[in-house]
């Protein structure tokens, strides 16, 4: 039996030309299509505690370490409490 192909929706988004060029430039650096790059960014933003969708683990860990240095202990504990509440 032949598999059904998933029907892809086509979207049209308006972008600031500067932002569009920046997205294209970063996508070329990574060697992926700009659409895939945008999807990657959105997955990371909408799933801030997730790690399963991380493509480049080294960059991800460096970013976490850098952001943890900038936070106070109180902010860090507040983030942990929010994460715990989101699990229930």
CA separation for the pair 82, 88 (Å, rounded): 11
Q: Is residue 2 part of a domain?
A: no
Structure letter (DSSP) for residue 48: T
Q: Domain count of the chain? A: 2
Q: What is the pLDDT of residue 6?
A: 65
**pLDDT < 50: residue spans in the chain:** none
Note the pLDDT of residue 1: 54
* Residue 24 covered by a domain: yes
Please report the pLDDT score of residue 17 as a whole number.
87
Q: Per the domain annotation, does 1 fall within a domain?
A: no
Are 22 and 34 in the same domain?
yes
Nearest-angstrom CA–CA distance, 37 and 25: 10
47 and 66 housed in the same domain: no
pLDDT the model gives residue 62: 83
pLDDT value for 48: 63
State whether 41 and 60 are in the same domain: no
- 50 shares its domain with 80: no
CA angle in degrees (0–180, nearest 5) for 40-20-45: 30
Q: Which domain holds residue 84?
A: 56-88
């Amino acid at each position: 039996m032949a598999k059904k192909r998933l029907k892809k929706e086509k979207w049209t988004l308006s972008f600031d030309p500067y932002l569009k060029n920046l997205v294209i430039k970063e996508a070329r650096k990574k060697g992926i299509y700009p659409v895939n790059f945008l999807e990657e960014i959105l997955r990371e933003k909408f799933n801030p505690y997730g790690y399963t969708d991380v493509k480049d683990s080294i960059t991800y860990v460096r970013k976490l370490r850098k952001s943890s240095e900038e936070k106070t202990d109180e902010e860090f504990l507040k983030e942990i409490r929010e994460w715990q509440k989101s699990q229930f």
